[in-house]
Structure 1
Amino acid sequence: KNKPSYSPNIECGDNVIIINADKVRLTGKKWTDREYLSYTGYPGGQRVATTEIMMKKSLNKHLKPGYHPLFIKVVKGMLPKNRLGRAIIENMHVYNGPNHPHEAQNPVVIDINKIK
């Protein structure tokens, strides 16, 4: 939002790369008590996953690189529920370790505590 070309109704093409997602910490019983729902589209196809299960899914080698089910679900809930929100979530890449394949794009580290 700090760019001069920012417009709330246009996807500006900025990408977000989150690293070290495996080091996320939650307090209390949030690992086991918080539930995320998904629906397969079939009758009786509602699935329930806890935060702990979603973190284990992120370690699955069959998922595409940069896809982390827990972070995608959480951030997608904060975005607008329209085609702009679906386009914006494609620009987020989450990696469990410190390495990522986006070094060629010269990413800039942004400290969100300093932006006001």
Structure 2
Amino acid sequence: MNKTSVPSIDSIDRQWYLVDAENQTLGRLATEVASVLRGKNKASFTPHLDTGDFVVVVNADKIRVSGNKPQQKLYRRHSGRPGGMKVETFTHLQERLPERIVEKAIKGMLPHNALGRQMFRKLKVYKGAEHPHAAQQPKPLQLDPAATAQ
């Protein structure tokens, strides 16, 4: 009878990947990145372990959404105080903090527990083309060609 092998924490080989978000559709990019963060692209994927890789996303300020979403998509946050709800459109948030748009989209596709928070820490998002992770020699991650906005 075959036994299911569970990889030990020490045996997990973590790679660094670089994703250029320029002219990419937000949701399609987020699903690919979330899959890599979870480790679903590996044969050693285990649902209850963090087997994923590190992902660096650059050019977050050049991400695209389709249709009327730039004006209609809303991002909400609450201060915790009565009347503390803040609502912001995609366009305003992209001008102010473009990294947060990509982070929020990817975080919503990860598990909503401690394991998901651990996976989210391996995501690095930058609004420009420069990033401080050159020493890790990230490999370019090939995304699905359908993810590119028309």
| TM-score bracket relative to the smaller structure | 0.7 to 0.9
RMSD over aligned CA atoms reads 1.9
Instruction: Deviation per CA, 1:60-107: give whole Å up to 9, x if none.
Output: xxxxxxxx1111111111111111111111111111222111010011
TM-score by length of 2: 0.63
* Contact 1:20/1:95 (8 A) holds in 2: yes
- Kindly provide the amino acid, as one letter, of the partner of residue 70 in structure 1: I
Matched with 1:42 is 81
Counterpart-to-counterpart distance in 2, 1:13 and 1:104? 19
- Determine if the alignment matches structure 1 residue 20 to structure 2 residue 59: yes
Counterpart-to-counterpart distance in 1, 2:131 and 2:53? 17
Report the secondary structure of 1:10's partner residue. Answer: coil
TM-score by length of 1: 0.79
Of 86, 107, 115 in structure 1, the residue corresponding to residue 138 of structure 2 is 107
* Contact 1:57/1:69 (8 A) holds in 2: no
Q: Which structure has more helix as a fraction of its residues?
A: 2
Matches within 5 A, 1:58-77: 58=97, 68-77=99-108
CA displacement at 1:112 relative to structure 2: 2.9
Paired residues, what number? 106
- Determine if the alignment matches structure 1 residue 54 to structure 2 residue 93: yes
- Kindly provide the amino acid, as one letter, of the partner of residue 91 in structure 1: K
Q: Return 5+ residue gaps in structure 1 as ranges.
A: 60-67
Larger Rg over CA atoms: 2
Matched with 2:34 is none
Q: Return 5+ residue gaps in structure 2 as ranges.
A: 1-39, 146-150
Matched with 1:95 is 126
